Amino acid sequence: MKTTTRLAAVLLLVCSGLVMALDLGSAKAQGLVGEQPDGYLGVVKASPDAIGLAADINAKRRAAYEAIAKKNGATLDQVAVLAGQKAIEMSSPGAYVKTPGGQWVKK
C-alpha cells in the first residue's frame, strides 16, 4: 500500500514536471528555480518569469499532492515532503536544490 502510494505520488510529480518540461528545464538550467524539501519549486534568482513559472507548477503540484493525500489517508504536507525528497533525488547535477537548513546549493 505504502509503495503504491509513493509510486503514485512520484508519478504524478514527474507528470506535473513533464507538462512544463521545457520551461521548467530551462529555468532550472539557468539557475532560476530549484527543488525544495517541502515538495515545491522555489525561486533562486527572482524574476517575474521565474515566479510565474514556479507559481504555476506549484499550483499543479499541490493539486496532485492533495489528490494523493486524499486517496491514501495522508496529509498534504506528508505527501509533499515525500515528493520533495524524490524531486531532489531526481534533480540533475548542477541544478539548485534547497537544503533542510534553507540554503540553496548546486547539486
Partner 1 sequence: MNMGFRLAFMRRYRWLIMLALLPLGVALAVVATAYVLGLRVQGVGWQNGLELTQWYRLQNGCVSVIGGRMRLTDWHPVTIRMASMRLPKCVTGTKELTPPPWTPPFDLSIDAVVIPDLPPMAVTVHQRDQRWQARASYRRSKATAVYDRLTGRWVAQGRIQGADIVSKLLGTLDFTGQGMWQTNRLDGALTAQGHQLGYLGQPQRSDATLSAKLAAKQWRLNAALASPMALGGGWILEGRPALQAGGGLDGVQLLRLDLHAKGPQGRAQLTLNTQGSGVARGQGRLTLTGPELAGTVPLTWTRQTLSLQPAALSLPQGLRLSWPNPVVLPLALAGESTISAELQYQGVRVKTVDSLLSWQQARWGWQGRLDLTGNAAGYKLAGGWQGRVDTDGLSGEPASLTVSGSALTVTLRLPVAEFRAPGWNTQAQFSGHYRNYPIDGVLDAGYTRGRWQGSLEGRSRLPFYAQGGSLTVTAPWYGNAGQWFLGSGSRVTITEGLIETVLVKPIAVMVSTPVRLSAQGVFGAIRVDAGGAVATRWAVPGIAGQLFVSGRQGQASLRLPAWRSELALTGALLSRGRRTGAQGELTVSTPLFAAMSNGFGITLQKGMLTGQARWQWQDHWQLQGEMAVSDLALNWGGILASGGQGAAHIELTQTGLLLTSTGPFRLAELGVGTPMRNVRMAVQSDLSRWHFIDVYAEVLGGTMSAPALQWPSAQYQPVTVSHIDLAEVAALQNDPNPTVQLAGRVGGQLPLQLMKDSLAVQGGLIRNEGPVSLKVFPSAGVSAMGQSNRAVQLALDTLSNLEIHDLQARLAMQPDGWLDAAVTIKGQSPQQNRLPVVLNYTHRENVLELLRSLRIGDEIARGVMDRRPADGPR
Alpha-carbon distance values, 68 to 56, 72, 89, 90 (Å) = 19, 6, 20, 20
Told to check if 107 binds partner 1 by CB under 8 A, we report no
Instruction: Single out the residue of 23, 62, 85, 104 in contact with partner 1 (rule: CB under 8 A).
Output: 62
Instruction: Single out the residue of 13, 43, 64, 88 in contact with partner 1 (rule: CB under 8 A).
Output: 43
Q: Are 50 and 43 in contact (CB under 8 A)?
A: yes
Told to check if 4 binds partner 1 by CB under 8 A, we report no
Of the listed pieces 16-24, 51-59, 83-91, 97-105, which binds partner 1 according to CB under 8 A?
51-59
d(CA 99, CA 105): 7
Instruction: Single out the residue of 6, 8, 60, 78 in contact with partner 1 (rule: CB under 8 A).
Output: 78
Alpha helix (H) ranges present in 1-107? 2-19, 21-29, 48-72, 76-90
- The pattern of x and - marking residues 23 through 42 that bind partner 1 according to CB under 8 A reads -----------------xxx
Residue with the three cell numbers 512544463: 20
